[in-house]
Amino acid sequence: MAMPIEPGMMVVGGVDAVGGAAVRCGHDDLESPITTLSNLGNTCFLNSVLYTLRFAPSFLHNLHHLALDLRDYSGRNTFKCSSLGRGSKSWSSKDLPSLGGGDVNNVKMQIATDKLHQLYEALHTEEVKDHMEPYHPHVFLHSLRDVNPIFEGNQQHDAHELLVCLLDNIRETCEQLKQLVVSMPLTRVPTAPAVQQSTKQSWSRQVRKSLTIVRPRTKINGEEKKIIPNESVVQNGDCCTNGVEYEDEQSSIGHNFISEYFEGVSLLKTTCLECEHITERKETFCDICVPITTDLKDEPLNVNKLYQSALVTEEYLHDSNKYWCEQCLRYNEAKRCVKFETLPKLLTLQIKRFSSSGYGSVVSKVNEHMPTPLVLGCFCEECQAKQNSSPGWVNPEHQYNLYSVIMHLGATMASGHYVAYVKARDPSADYEACTRERRKTASLSLSNSTSSSTNDKSKKKWFFRSSKNESFTEPRGQYFRSSCRGADCCGVRLRTDETSDPVWLECDDETVRIISKKQLEEILAQKQPKNSALTPYLLFYARQ
């Protein structure tokens, strides 16, 4: 039985950070619970974001399918339809220019997206080994610099700027792929009926051929629909269409999960105090900048109200800052408020730590303490209205839980250091409800069906890495046995005790240690000296 990892123990290199003695589990040195990332020279800003996105709910799962869609459509341009079954294996990023439509920038973004997926694949592969080595993300960094040259050189950069670049890059890749789906849709080519054979191998080939037959259509409520037989069972349960229509597969390709998970809508409402005419302007956002409140009192503080008052603002436009009313055709006093029509599933808050001043654009840091809530109440327009009418009302479905925080250590942005604290969550739920994998398997090929039965054990244990003389709790549930293959491609293989309280990982480049929730709260509550502050900078919340 493996010795459990105690919170607060430094686990990189098998050294206890408290006593300095080597910690052993059987005959093997205790390693990091995950694959670590090497610092390539002031690349902590990159590593902190990569750690965060790896533990963002559903991010790896969606990135996996985006990468497969890129490879699939690259294969359609590079290979004949008959070779689609092997297209994903023989595909490489060199084929991506065929997807870019001749636009060099589009090609660079697609390559960077694929390299990001390959990076997480490499981390997953390393975690299968008995002894993990720090991973050097130089290939992905090079592709990122091709997209945005601002990250060239060995200087320190802003982690927030990198995050925005990564998300925008993936969003654009999704849009490009979606446009390609419209211009080059999936087709079903009629084939001659195959002869039924008795063996499993020939039967599997027959199913593959039948999937390319054009389905008959019928009219339902005046609309033509395709009739797809309920091919409910295919060898080893790897393929089950369950009557899912072919159009569903089309709509899932190029799905913009960045917009679905990371984007919200803000509302800027201006009311003229003379004619009471209201002007509204809506904008899409991926993160919200939070100003630091410096006049915090020693009395008990309601952190949720503090953040809501900093985010949902109201101001009066008067004197030299009057508002030009289009109805009155003159400058009038007005009331302007900032609200949020919708908040994203994954909410990102940027604490306004850095500000430019002077002609030289010197970036200084604000080190004042700003509380970091582990649970944040919803402040969307609907919830705000209900809270105003019923004080104390809380929508449990709109609660936001902290899943990562990127801290900044240092007095300036150029000379500082970034450390990520991520919540070690079980991501099995991200893959269990996946329907895209089953549709893709049903519509493309069954080339891997013969090996699925031999891989069942490895698929069940994808979350808990096992080795000699170790026993970890396996994910429960029969459905997990046929979950999305992304779990075995780029999913996290985290070594931790499932029965213990939720733990957090302190990710500091090549060093990762497990800490408890209480220890995280102590770190977030610390008020360091102003010249050497370790302060929260980027906060990441997931709606429950």
- pLDDT confidence of residue 240: 40
- pLDDT confidence of residue 426: 81
Is residue 35 one of the residues assigned to a domain? Answer: no
β-bridge mates for residue 409, sequence order = 417, 534
Is the entire prediction scored with pTM above 0.95? no
Is residue 298 one of the residues assigned to a domain? Answer: yes
Residue type, 541: Y
Is residue 53 one of the residues assigned to a domain? Answer: no
Say if CB 537 and CB 162 are below 8 A apart. no
Say if CB 358 and CB 307 are below 8 A apart. no
Separation of alpha carbons 540 and 49, rounded Å: 11
Enumerate the H helices of 157-239 as residue ranges.
Answer: 159-183, 200-210
The Cα diameter of the chain in Å comes to: 88
Say if CB 211 and CB 148 are below 8 A apart. no
Task: Sort 517 into a burial class: Cβ within 10 Å, 0-12 / 13-18 / 19+.
Answer: middle
CATH of the domain at 325: 2.20.210.10
SS3 annotation, 118-161: HHHHHHHHHHHCCCCCCECCHHHHHHHHHHCHHHCCCCCCCHHH
- How far is the CA of 303 from the CAs of 296, 297, 299, 370, 371, in angstroms? 11, 12, 12, 9, 7
- How far is the CA of 105 from the CAs of 148, 176, 522, in angstroms? 10, 11, 45
- pLDDT confidence of residue 502: 79
Separation of alpha carbons 38 and 210, rounded Å: 49
DSSP letter string over 462-504?
SSS---TT---PPPP-GGGGG--GGGGTT-----S-TTSPPEE
Is residue 290 one of the residues assigned to a domain? Answer: yes
Is residue 286 one of the residues assigned to a domain? Answer: yes
Q: Of 284, 303, 285, 283, which is closest to residue 293 (Cα–Cα)? A: 303
Domain count across the chain = 1
For 209, other C-beta atoms within 10 Å of its C-beta total 12
Summarize the chain as % helix, strand, coil (round to 5).
40, 20, 40
Is residue 475 one of the residues assigned to a domain? Answer: no
Is residue 329 one of the residues assigned to a domain? Answer: yes
- pLDDT confidence of residue 186: 59
Strand 503-508, strand 362-365: pairing: unpaired
Is residue 279 one of the residues assigned to a domain? Answer: yes
- pLDDT confidence of residue 361: 61
* Secondary structure element (H or E) that encloses residue 67, with its range: helix 59-78
Separation of alpha carbons 232 and 183, rounded Å: 31
The whole-number mean pLDDT for each consecutive block of 10 residues of the chain, a chain of 544 residues, reads: 40 33 35 91 96 97 94 63 37 53 82 96 92 94 95 91 97 92 63 43 40 40 46 39 50 86 97 96 96 72 88 94 95 96 97 74 80 94 85 80 95 86 88 73 46 42 41 36 77 74 92 94 77 85 93
What range does the domain containing 289 cover? 264-343
Strand 400-409, strand 288-290: pairing: unpaired
